[in-house]
Chain A
Amino acid sequence: MRSSPRTLAALAAGLGLLIGCVAWFVPYLTRERDDVTSVPVPAPFFAEERVALAPGSEACLSDVAFDTDSEIVELTALAGRRPLPRLAVAGEAPGYRATAVIEGGYVPPSALHAAIDPPERSVIGTLCIANRGRRRVALLGTTDPRTVVARSTTQIDGEEVVPDISVRFLAASGGSVIDRAGQMVDRAAAFKPGLFGAPALLWLVLLLVAFGVPAAAVYSMLSSFRESD
């Protein structure tokens, strides 16, 4: 028996969607990713800038958001001839203080990670990085117009400097998009007032996109074949 055009169209659409899901969506959605909880200043878009921190000096970033899962501070040390000095990292905000140490000796360039205790509720405060060693350290910073416009600004020993230090916060453990879907929806709901910011609305829309759009598109196509038969 020969299949009708409608059946063939359904098979082709089903196969296409299956290939899309298996070959693309599932690997993409189940891949482990870092959980970036906040980015006070991103890495530069065009050219990297060095922010030199002399022994005993302290750099502070203002208006930094510390989230309840901001457990790791990530900085980047730029290439130098000798191992890194010891750095002290401190987060401070009303009702919150956390400190950590990045032991020296790494060979830069490298990402530097300092584990801090996150606040119980999110706060806005200051992040300071102090050079506790005997050598200078050069941290990655930015002056390019695309990235220097972040809210945080950098001061060294109380003086505002032009390159802002690039820094971001991570959660201690990452996870896949599927694992963290609820958290991502909550993040997407932030700053949206009223109905726009209701996580239930976002969930509804995302589920409609994920299942309703394929269903409605395929349904409309199959209905059109039925009426043409």
Chain B
Amino acid sequence: MALLAVATVQVLAWALVMPPFQGPDEMAHFAYVQHLAETGEAPEQTGGGGANVSSEQAEAIRWENLHALVGVIGMRPGWTEAEERRWREVEATLSDEASANGDGPNAVGQNPPLYYALETIPYHVAPGGSFFNRFYMTRLGSAAIYVAAVAFMWLIASELFRPLWARTLATAIVALQPKLAMLGAAINADILLVLAWTAFIYAGLRIVRRGPSVRRLVGAGVATAASVLTHGRGLAILGALLVLLVIAYLRWRPAPREALRGATLSLGIAGIGLAVVALFTSGVSGGGTVYGGEIGRIGEKAFDVRELLSYVWQFYLPKLDFMQPTIGVQNYGFREVYIQSFYGDFASLEVEYPRFVTDLLEVATVLLLFALYTVTVTRLDAVKRHWPTIAFLLLTGLSLLVLLHVTAYNSMLTNPADPLFTGRYLLPLVSILAIGVTVVVTALPPRLAAIATGGLVATGVVLSLSGLGIAFVRFYA
């Protein structure tokens, strides 16, 4: 409960401190929510009447001076009474149509509608009817999703770790992940992806550790459907579901008919999700391709497996002599994605931790990988005993990483300037990070484990407070 309170307070603070539309792509995501809430239809990705946001949103942005604020560190939002007064005067003159005319083009119009449909609930229950009331209530909708993801992390930790302190540590790592708290406060479908994956990992762990039951299989299927109904990146969960079913079969060896029934149940629910996506896709612009062509955009330039492998190698490791320079942005890889923008780069990426923090986090992450390797080789018996759990977690993570790299590579074939891979795309795997850290700490001698736990919780607190503090100063000093 204390950690849920920690998560709630943090996300509430981010929701109030970060000015409107400063979260990643928040203008487009809110425009989607608003158009769906007001008209029952998603905005067009490439078509529409030319209004990528509603007139009401555009006026709010104008009078709080929010457009030039996005990603521009020297800009400040409007905060004078005169601007606020002028906005109220303008708002009073707006017709109902002004809330409903943002029909596109909308840069996130290709996204399936689940997240946005959920967000129409807080949008509609906002008291008073003012634009900013609806906006902040919608942010609180995201915040509730974030808190639910932290709660699922507690369930995962309870499933995996016996000592209460280890469960607490694993949950604290997620609750104190600063970027996740910021994302929870923004209007962005990625936070529902985090919840869907965390819930899927929980259901999957229950299946591989305790055996498949109808409830667990339905849980895994629902989480899978939620993921594919949330974002194109959510498709990666299909690979994870297949892996889960195979591991569950190998581990529990059910009778063929029972196995078929279980697989049909999970895959059937996931299939319903996919069918809804296909139905949705057929009705939106973007060429009628799945997710508006964002995923699986192959064929615009030759897809070269060697080039892809070279890109992936150079993403993580130094270029070898025989390799060509990587496609896309040079010197953009592990540090920028797994460290810098995974823990930091808040708002629209412009609110950064100082360099020494990124350096320390990078060292800590590399140490964690070495520590995990050491734990693996020194406890091979335990690894063999728990192979279904370990394989499930590793392959689930891998399924997302493969999709992210292939999609990024595809995208760079047409636009090399945009690596299309940033740290928040990894947040659906934050529970696996927390498990990894906790496994290492529990492998330490008890006294050392206690010290490490205290140090990690303190580090999480310091990172969370400083991220929020830097953002507060960036916007209002």
Contacts and interface: CB of A to CB of B under 8 A. Distances in A.
Chains A and B bind each other:
yes
Given A209-B465, A214-B465, A190 B79 contact: yes
Contacts of B175: 217
Nearest to B60: A191
Interface stretch (B112-120, B186-194, B446-454): B446-454
Interface string A26-49: 001100011110110111010000
B133 A217 contact: no
Given A38-B80, A213-B464, A216-B2, A206 B70 contact: no
Interface stretch (A82-90, A116-124, A131-139): A116-124
B366 interface: no
A202 B130 CA distance: 20
B318 interface: no
Interface string A182-194: 0010111011111
B167 A224 contact: yes
Contacts of A110: none
Interface in B171-229: 172, 175-176
Contact of B64 (A191, A202, A205, A221): A191
Contacts of B132: 191-193, 196
Interface in B36-80: 60, 62-65, 67-68, 70-72, 74-80
B199 to A, nearest CB: 22
A168 interface: yes
B3 A220 contact: yes
User: How many interface residues does chain B have, given as a range?
Assistant: 35 or more
Interface stretch (B11-19, B264-272, B377-385): B11-19
Contacts of B68: 41-42, 146-150
B4 to A, nearest CB: 9
A221 to B, nearest CB: 5
A111 interface: no
Interface string B281-320: 0000000000000000000000000000000000000000
A11 interface: yes
Contacts of A41: 68
Nearest to A13: B454
A25 B168 contact: no
Given A196-B136, A217-B172, A188 B65 contact: no
A208 interface: yes
A188 B16 CA distance: 8
Contacts of B77: 187, 190-191
A218 B80 contact: no
A213 B465 contact: yes
B83 interface: yes
Interface stretch (A1-9, A51-59, A101-109, A155-163): A1-9
A124 B86 contact: yes
Nearest to B127: A194
Nearest to A12: B454
B165 interface: yes
B468 interface: yes
B128 A194 contact: yes
Contacts of B477: 33-36, 177, 180, 184
Of the listed residues A67, A123, A209, A218, the one surrounded by the most CB atoms of chain B closer than 10 A to its CB is A209
Give chain B's interface secondary structure class. helix
A221 B457 contact: yes
Contact of B476 (A10, A29, A151, A184): A184
Contacts of A190: 64, 77-81, 83-84
A16 B72 contact: no
B76 A39 contact: yes
Contact of B469 (A14, A28, A123, A151): A28
A34 to B, nearest CB: 8
A45 B83 contact: no
Given A5-B446, A6-B450, A17-B462, A42 B2 contact: no
A171 to B, nearest CB: 11
Contacts of B12: 205
Given A5-B446, A205-B16, A217-B2, A16 B458 contact: yes
Contacts of B455: 12-13, 15-16
A43 B169 CA distance: 44
A62 to B, nearest CB: 12
A192 B175 CA distance: 26
B169 A147 contact: no
A208 B9 contact: yes
Contacts of B256: none
B450 A5 contact: yes
B466 A24 contact: yes
Nearest to A123: B82
Nearest to A213: B6
Contacts of A173: none
A164 to B, nearest CB: 10
A191 B165 contact: no
Contacts of A43: 74
A67 B72 CA distance: 21
Contact of A8 (B172, B450, B476): B450
A77 to B, nearest CB: 17
B461 interface: yes
14 contacts: A20-B458, A25-B465, A65-B65, A65-B78, A177-B473, A180-B477, A187-B77, A191-B79, A192-B132, A209-B468, A213-B464, A217-B6, A221-B453, A228-B164
Interface of A: 2-3, 5-6, 8-17, 20, 24-25, 28-29, 33-36, 38-39, 41-43, 45, 65-67, 121-124, 146-151, 168, 177, 180, 184, 186-188, 190-194, 196, 201-202, 205-206, 208-210, 212-214, 216-221, 223-225, 227-228
Interface of B: 2-3, 5-6, 9-10, 12-13, 16-17, 20, 60, 62-65, 67-68, 70-72, 74-84, 86-87, 127-128, 130, 132-133, 136, 163-165, 167-169, 172, 175-176, 446-447, 449-455, 457-462, 464-466, 468-470, 472-473, 475-477
